[in-house]
Amino acid sequence: MKLPNTSDKWRFENERKKVVEYLWRIGIIKSEKVKKALLNVPREEFIPPHLREYAYVDEPLPIGYGQTISAIHMVAIMTEELDPESGHKVLEVGTGSGYQAAVLAEIVAKQDPSKKGHVYTIEKISELAEFAKKNLERASYSKYVTVIVGDGSLGYPEEAPYDRIIVTAGAPDVPKPLIEQLNDNGRLVIPVGNRFFQKLLVVEKKNGKIYKKWGIECLFVPLIGKYGWTEY
Ligand code: SAM
């Protein structure tokens, strides 16, 4: 695999700054913490080598096995809705490339490791879990992110409860185990709808009660699993 040389590194940094500044100017990025995280995580490290030159095109890109790394604005919107904080324990369902997990790890763990925040991320396709692990290692996030292979629609009870849960695949409804594994005062963000059209749903748990708020329309690859869709 060809690693970026110095001029590639400079070019990628420049392109990253431009797209983040643009998303900030048009109000997609709202908070300093999300802005800083998107500026710090090198998206090019999470893209298959032959597509790296498109790392800062704000679109989903193929990562193999029929899956995609989400567009940069979608990662920004979901991270803003999730509102992660330093020290939080986060579960991500749908690791894909590992990029979203790295953005979350920047906020909950890397900026202040003394608070012991951590990201657990679960991926159904073992080859993609391996791809993500390598990407996270190259970009220096593996200390803060644990990658698990499995059906994330069941959550990951071993480390529950979680302060934040994010699902980056489209589901027919909110998987029951994820609600159970959410901490009190916790928040869950998930695209819910049919296989071709979803809306972002924000679920909050307060004193054991569940509150739901619908957000923007979106289109994600399907969540395949016990509490998701069945295989094609
Ligand atoms: N967050 C990813 C990133 O930053 O690259 C993008 C995720 S991609 C849009 C959705 C991912 O969810 C795919 O990699 C897919 O294999 C995975 N997936 C689908 N159903 C799943 C399940 N039940 N459990 C875990 N992962 C699942």
- Model confidence over 131-153: pLDDT tens digits? 999 999 999 999 999 999 999 99
56 pLDDT above the threshold of 70: yes
Between the CA of residue 182 and those of 152, 204, 205, what are the distances in Å? 14, 9, 7
Active-site annotation holder among 7, 70, 97, 114? 70
**pLDDT band for position 165 (cuts 50, 70, 90):** very high
The encoded tokens of residue 38 equal 């998107």
> If you measure from the C-alpha of residue 206 to the centroid of ligand 1, how many angstroms do you get, rounded to a whole number?
28
pTM for the predicted model, two decimal places:
0.97
Closest CA to 107 of 69, 138, 78: 78
The angle, 0 to 180 degrees and rounded to 10, between the axes of the packed helices 6-25 and 72-82 is 60
Cβ neighbours of residue 53 under 8 Å, at least 6 residues apart?
none
**Domains by residue range for the chain, with CATH:** 6-218 (3.40.50.150)
Question: Which of 47, 63, 123 is the best mutation target for the ligand 1 pocket, counting ligand atoms within 8 Å of the beta carbon and taking the most?
Answer: 123
pLDDT tens digits along 181-232: 999 999 999 999 999 999 999 999 999 999 999 999 999 999 999 999 998 6
Ligand 1 nearest-atom number relative to CA 152 = 24
Per-residue pLDDT at 1: 52
- Asked if 21 and 73 touch (Cβ cutoff 8 Å), the reply is no
Spatial neighbors of 80 by CB under 8 A, at least 6 apart, are 28, 29, 30, 31, 34
* Amino acid (one-letter) located at 104: L
Query: Which tokens is 91 given?
Result: 């579960």
Neighbours of 77 (CB within 10 A): 22
